[in-house]
Structure 1
Amino acid sequence: MPRWNIKHTPRLFSDEEKEATSKKITEIYVQVGLPAFYVQVIFEELPHKALFVGGKEHTKFASIEVLHIARNFQHATQKKAFLNMVDSILNPLFEKKGIDWEYFVGESDRDLWKINGIYPPESGSALEKKWIDTNRPSKL
């Protein structure tokens, strides 16, 4: 499960931008062999006077939490490559709109994760390949 929580000030993104961005984010993970349905992208528009940076209201800001459980990085080169992919998606969109943003990536142990009450299959297993093909979790 990669989950992206994108909290932002009002009216920064259109529905079309949200959909296009979520598809680009999903593609990062599909390229490394994750089922597309593992990827969650949540846009949360915060109300006026709900986001402060340095003690002052910021009217064009996005705070992004990226949580990884399905796969964790093993090497610094993987981390750098991932951040470069993230930047290639976020920077063009945010810069053209004059938005300030910050993101971080957190990782957790895979054994603390279930989907529909099922422990996800091991990476690269036949069952995971079935999950990829059907784009759904299943017990068998």
Structure 2
Amino acid sequence: MPSWYINHSPNIFSAAEKAQLAKSITNIYASHGLPTFYVQVHFTEYDPSSSFIGGETHAKFAGITIYHLARAFQSDESKQRFLSRVDQVLNPVFEPKGMDWEYFITEAPRDLWKINGLVPPPAGSEGEKEWVRVNRAVKY
């Protein structure tokens, strides 16, 4: 599961922009064979008096936390490729708005993850291919 939490200033994104960002983020993972239903993108608009950067409120900021469980990075090169893909998605949306943003990625152990009570099939396995095909968690 990649799970993205995008906490942002009010009135920054339209519903259409959120939907497009979610699709673009999902495509990062789908292009590497993950079932699309693994990908979660959550937008949370915060009250401007409840978020501070450097002790001051900020009218155009997004803080993004990305959790990875389905896959782990195998090398520094794979990390850099992923960060580049993230930048290709975020920069064209955030830069024209004059925003500031920050993101980080946390990897969690895969063996501490279940979907609908099921342990997800191993990466690249026939079970995972079936999950991609039906786009939901099924017994394998």
TM-score by structure 1 length? 0.98
Shift >4 Å, 4+ stretches: none
Unaligned runs of 5+ in 2: none
Structure 2 match to 1:135: 135
Give the distance between the partners of 2:86 and 2:6, measured in 1 at CA. 13
Does the aligned pair in 1 maintain the 2:69–2:108 contact within 8 Å?
A: yes
* Partner AA of 2:43 in structure 1: F
Q: CA RMSD in A?
A: 0.6
Give the distance between the partners of 1:125 and 1:92, measured in 2 at CA. 35
Percentage of pairs with the same residue: 53
Give the distance between the partners of 1:97 and 1:48, measured in 2 at CA. 17
Structure 2 match to 1:23: 23
Structure 2 match to 1:75: 75
Query: C-alpha deviations, 1:80-110, integer Å up to 9, x for none?
Result: 0000000011111110000100000110100
Give the distance between the partners of 2:107 and 2:37, measured in 1 at CA. 18
Give the distance between the partners of 1:118 and 1:46, measured in 2 at CA. 34
Aligned residues: 140
Q: 1:56 Cα shift?
A: 0.7
1:12 partnered with 2:19: no
The equivalences for 1:93-132 within 5 A come to: 93-132=93-132
Unaligned runs of 5+ in 1: none
Give the distance between the partners of 1:138 and 1:101, measured in 2 at CA. 37
Give the distance between the partners of 2:113 and 2:51, measured in 1 at CA. 30
Question: SS of the residue aligned with 1:49?
Answer: helix
Q: 1:48 Cα shift?
A: 2.4
Give the distance between the partners of 2:65 and 2:23, measured in 1 at CA. 17
Q: 1:51 Cα shift?
A: 1.0
* Partner AA of 1:12 in structure 2: I
TM-score by structure 2 length? 0.98
